[in-house]
Amino acid sequence: MGIRVGTLILVSVAPFLATVAPGPAQARVKKVVVRQGPFHIRSYQVRYTDKKSRHVRAPKISGHIVKMHARVVDRRGRRIPVNRVMLHHVLYKNMGRFPGDRRERICGHKGQSFYGTGEENQALRLPKGYGYRIRKGDRWSSSWMLMNHTSRTDTAYIEYTAWIETERKLRPATPYWLRVTGCRGTSDPIYNIAGGGAPGSTDSRTQDFVLPRVGMLVAANAHVHGGAKGLRLTQPRCGDRLLMRSRSLYGLPSHPYYHVRPVLHEPGPIATSWPRTAKGIPLGPGEPIRLTSAYDSKYQHTRVMGIMHLYVWHGRRPRAASCAPLRRT
């Protein structure tokens, strides 16, 4: 296919058969690759999204996303190494998809935040039988941050790949972005860790949330910065019972992230764990859930975040949930 400058679809691969969900019928999955850009980043520049660069083309297909991943590439689609241009983060939003979106949001203001990645290099992966529902007429936008670690202006594209189930009706997972700083008004998702604690000490921040509807929690993941130990989602009604935990995973000292010069920001985790359960964890009506962000407090860490991505299925009204130990499948 030809390539146009700007936001475009690079590849639309013919459907193939796969077994992404249980059932008698075979799944039909389409792989779509969309490249956004080009973005010109000056030497040692940290470039953020602006009004002209936030638009990204949606797949223009009706179905359910079962997997999605984003990365930084050059004009030929080759991955750009982090010592040239690093993707600190990218967040994808579905803008005004259908009536009811407003009441589904907790954080995120306009649009429905449904997938994000960055230095964690994480892919959206939902349990078998679930997917993120998209429609042919959806409008998407993105929020991103790119860093040029060289002395020359560089050019990069942000490319996403989505695997979309188009035939089978999966259970739609509704995404919620929770941040430990709260979501009221213009609350800032960024905060600072003062440091000065004893070796091994932890700075913990908590925030309670209530989902707009009852449902079944099926997956969670996190976006954090350097110094993070992880995020925990707990259930106060059950003595702060652990529902899901996203651990921050760091590389060996030899990992490229820790050898990028100049240091434009503190290196973060190279991955975060992504707990999932096809069985689902019931959350009752009006029930608070508690997000806790844990960071190292021995050292100072500036401009950190504690954001957890939840995916909830609202297709079944759960019974009154007990506080027995959870069994995930």
**C-alpha–C-alpha distance, residues 67 and 164, integer Å:** 7
Per-residue pLDDT tens over the stretch 126-135: 999 999 999 9
| Alpha-carbon gap, residue 147 to 46, rounded angstroms | 4
pLDDT at 244: 95
How large is the average pLDDT for residues 37-66? 93
8-169 and 173-313 have identical folds:
yes
What is the pTM assigned to this prediction? 0.87
User: How do residues 279-297 score in pLDDT, each as one tens digit?
Assistant: 999 987 888 999 999 999 9
What CATH code is assigned to 8-169?
2.60.120
- pLDDT recorded at residue 64: 96
pLDDT surpassing 70 at residue 227? yes
Worst-scoring range by mean pLDDT, 89-93, 164-168, 264-268, 317-321? Answer: 317-321
3-state SS of 269-301 is: CCEECCCEEEEEEEECCCCEEEEEEEEECCCCE
Instruction: Please state the domain extents for the chain.
Output: 8-169, 173-313
Confidence of residue 111 (pLDDT cuts 50, 70, 90): confident
- pLDDT given for residue 24 in this prediction: 44
Separation CA 133–CA 169 (nearest Å): 10
Asked whether residue 328 carries a pLDDT value surpassing 80, the answer given is: no
What class does CATH assign to 173-313?
Answer: mainly beta
Taking residues 115-121, report their average pLDDT: 91
pLDDT, tens digit, for every residue of 256-283?
A: 888 888 888 888 899 999 999 999 999 8
Residue 307: its pLDDT value, please? 93
